[in-house]
A = this chain, B = another copy of it.
Amino acid sequence: MASYKAPLRDMRFVYNELFDYSEISSLPGYEDATPDLVDAIIEEAAKVCENELFPINRSGDEEGCTFENGVVRTPKGFKEAYRAYVEGGWGGLTSDPKYGGQGMPSSIHVMVEEMMCSANLSFGIYPGLTYGAYQSLHAHGTDELKDLYLPKMVSGEWSGTMCLTEPHCGTDLGLLRSKAVPNDDGSWKISGTKIFISSGEHDLTDNIIHLVLARAEGSPKGVKGISLFVVPKFIPKDDGTPGPRNGVSCGSIEHKMGIKASATCVMNFEDAQGWLVGEMNKGMSHMFTMMNNERLAVGVQGLGLAESSYQAAVEYARERLQGRSLTGAKNPDAGADPILVHPDIRRTLLNIRAFTEGARATAMWVARGLDLRKKHPDEGLRTEADDFIQLMTPMVKALFTDFGFDATNAGMQVFGGSGYIRETGVEQYVRDARIAQIYEGTNGIQALDMVGRKMPAHFGRYLRRFFHPVQAFIEEHAEDESMADFVMPLAKAFGRLQRATGYLAEKGMKNPDEAGAAASEYLRLFGLVAMAYIWARAAKVAMAKTDGEEAGFYQAKLGTARHYMERILPQSSGLFSSIMAGSKTMMSFADDAF
């Protein structure tokens, strides 16, 4: 029953109007990224997502992946869709042209990613992991390894994985037990068991390239003894075609709450041949090259599913006739009014929309940072962009997936009883969205990363990349009465964030539990302020255009901005109070009393 149309108009607003696209298209290598080309790309991506991926989303959930004798089969239609995806060149959108990629900016990629997540998250995970593996290999592999693997990974002929987690260690990778023993030829023998490996085994590609964390013989204990290896399922022959089977196999697949069409595998490495990627014992930092990108991508998953849920809920709210408007019948010829007339339904829909549109713009803001960091000729600006990305990554991952999950639930709620029925298709969004709060580092870990690493880094330098533009915007518009409804709430919430930051910086220095206790609430407060700033900027752009040709679009933008300020941002006051309450109560609670 659910349907999906890519929100192209809003994507154009964000790319062309809210931000200055010429800052991207003036970067060396991104000259093509003009509005025209962007239009062509996102329109084409929308077709793939709407027509190829969305139609196999629910059937993929019902069927799931199957495992038999070490072979994993994806649900009906996935192979064909994947072939179409590869033929369209989507796997290499932002990849290095040297290896066959199209070298497009992340600002474009982020829009395509959102559509993929909206249409079929399970499907999107396969190329998503390939891209992650591509990035680590591209950044740290030797030319020989890169020449061997990257062209096939960029084209999508081969897929990739990230093999980190083991049964006894996920967050705390220092405990890992997978071993690497050197061979005579410079390669390594990798042994160990990895769990929760997305796309570890499947039937979409001829080869699967695993990036594996393992401890080389003689390396130190803990995280400082972990190295990164590339371990192909089939060892490539000299002509680049898949050769002999390597000692890696899938032991089983997980039965999960959602993303059932994404194969989550137990992978057994038994003297599998692997090659070192980057430096010995630097595996953690090499892996994090892709983890940061993955975390942004996971944030976008929350956004994508929220958008699908919103669209389904709006459609239902227009069609479902039930009850009468509180202020008199709006649809007197029928037996009842559409439920869209009810304030509580409108509030629910606007809550979701204030998140999706705000998150879309915020994601673009961060993606622009990726582009600047990669391509800007000025090193100082590249460093600034990196600071900004470091700071925003945990916020985007955690806030977008928490809000995204809530949004899928809110959309489902609009359906009443029908929403709980699988055939309706919206409860799947909830189940699929749930994983994004967990993988690539739970949201609690993101919050700790923010307060423990990002906040204190370089004496608060990262924070300034965010605080300064917000402060400047507030000051610039302090006297602008037309903007008061947006700037005043922003300023108030920003003040709370500044005070909370000062408090945590001081207390956390003395007692790290103080920072830990407040971490999740601080991250959310930070995220609420970030989206408030983005919404205030969007309101300013929209305000100038509410009388023009597309008045409806801009009025809706302004209305949604207002809704954000009135009904979402006020949460900042409670969060502030909770942060300031400190850690004492939770830390003094007796362990055995839990």
Residues of A within 8 A of B (CB): 165, 168-172, 175, 195-196, 254-258, 314, 317-318, 321-323, 326-327, 335-336, 340, 342-350, 353, 405, 409, 412-413, 416-417, 419-423, 427, 430-431, 434-435, 437-439, 442-444, 447-448, 452, 511-513, 515-517, 519-521, 552-553, 555-556, 559-560, 562-563, 566-567, 570-575, 577-578, 581, 583, 585-594
Q: A423: which B residues are within 8 A, CB to CB?
A: 255
Chain B: minimal CB distance from A357 (Å): 12
Q: Which 7 A-B pairs have the closest CB atoms?
A: A343-B516, A566-B581, A326-B512, A556-B593, A570-B577, A570-B574, A343-B517
Chain B: minimal CB distance from A358 (Å): 15
Q: A346: which B residues are within 8 A, CB to CB?
A: 517, 586-587, 589, 594
Chain B: minimal CB distance from A122 (Å): 13
A422–B353 Cα gap in the complex (Å)?
31
A413–B512 Cα gap in the complex (Å)?
22
Q: A448: which B residues are within 8 A, CB to CB?
A: 344
A227–B590 Cα gap in the complex (Å)?
57
**Tally of this chain's copies:** 2
Chain B: minimal CB distance from A490 (Å): 14
A420 touches B257 (CB 8 A): yes
B563 touches A586 (CB 8 A): yes
A343 touches B419 (CB 8 A): no
A545–B333 Cα gap in the complex (Å)?
66
A344 touches B257 (CB 8 A): no
Q: Which residue of B lies closest to A581 (CB)?
A: B566
Chain B: minimal CB distance from A362 (Å): 20
Q: Add 5 more A-B contacts to A165-B417, A171-B322, A343-B586 (CB < 8 A).
A: A256-B420, A257-B431, A347-B520, A570-B577, A572-B574
In the complex with contacts A336-B172, A438-B417, A516-B326, A257-B422 CB distance below 8 A: yes
B444 touches A348 (CB 8 A): yes
A447–B344 Cα gap in the complex (Å)?
9
Q: A585: which B residues are within 8 A, CB to CB?
A: 350, 559, 562-563, 566
A563–B559 Cα gap in the complex (Å)?
37
